[in-house]
Structure 1
């Protein structure tokens, strides 16, 4: 299974930006309002761990895994901290979001898909019109992650927690297996993480 995922991920190497087929759909007024509030509520990113040592262990491990893609340590740690914060506040697994970003943009901040999806999480510009303001820049690291995590949370809510269908909606390929399999494959092969045993024992006490 791992080899199968590895082959799928290798096929992505020549694709600058996978995504961009998210479909614009009418939002109920209460849904649009809630999403808008989520987008507008900008706070300074931080690691969301109960145990500070666990957070630092996560950051160090994820930074090492990301080093070949983003050589600058400060940029890696800033990106990872923001991913962890935005994913956590949206009720998403940060490791899943890392897998999605790998598939969507290959961690290229300025990636643009053939149909205009932008940035790390390949957000379609129509979302700015639907739930944001004209000043929102989808190439801004924090703004892009804020939009992407809010949108994926929205799709998960629509699909009552069904990740396969939510990922299909995110990519605009609802009902097809290729894209969800790629994201889950990237997540499982490259970004799964467990706290070191010493930290788990400390937390147990």
Structure 2
């Protein structure tokens, strides 16, 4: 199968230094709003890369659930592979790819765990089935069959049949605190527009155009 000739020309839009926000959080909010208005499926899906103590990288897709000037938040099982890797090495990279808008946003930095109160607030907003699922799955562990998951689900349903489902002590959020954020806009002839925000020691953001 020859895929060497698979390519698309990017002609939708451009990105100029004069139109950029002064900080990456405002610029991200602008682009995220535009992506949401474009009805992109799973607009909050981002690829998250981590590296554990063994130096081996891992990559997976998670859902962004909150963002503000403090950072970008996603939730997970704290016993999962990504959580264990982040415990060993808090450095992280995340990527949004909104192909319909011919745009990417890359975020690099480090993580911190969100507070239990913040995790609880989000957990209680989830559908009941998702709350049950958090209790059922020992994320990233090896299981012999799906029937074990289904049996565990029935057990958890019975256990929490009355009242609210509590927040598991092994489940919560990570906040990505960015050091660099790159905004990428596809352009013709692969001469894409790329602007990188870099956090300086004085807390200000420096913006630089990168070669495509």
Instruction: Report the TM-score range of the alignment, normalised by the length of the smaller protein.
Output: under 0.3
Greater RCO between the two (CA within 8 Å, min separation 6)? 1
Higher helix share: 1
Hey, which of these two has a bigger chunk of strand by percent?
Answer: 2
Q: TM-score, normalised by structure 2?
A: 0.22
TM-score calculated relative to the size of structure 1: 0.23
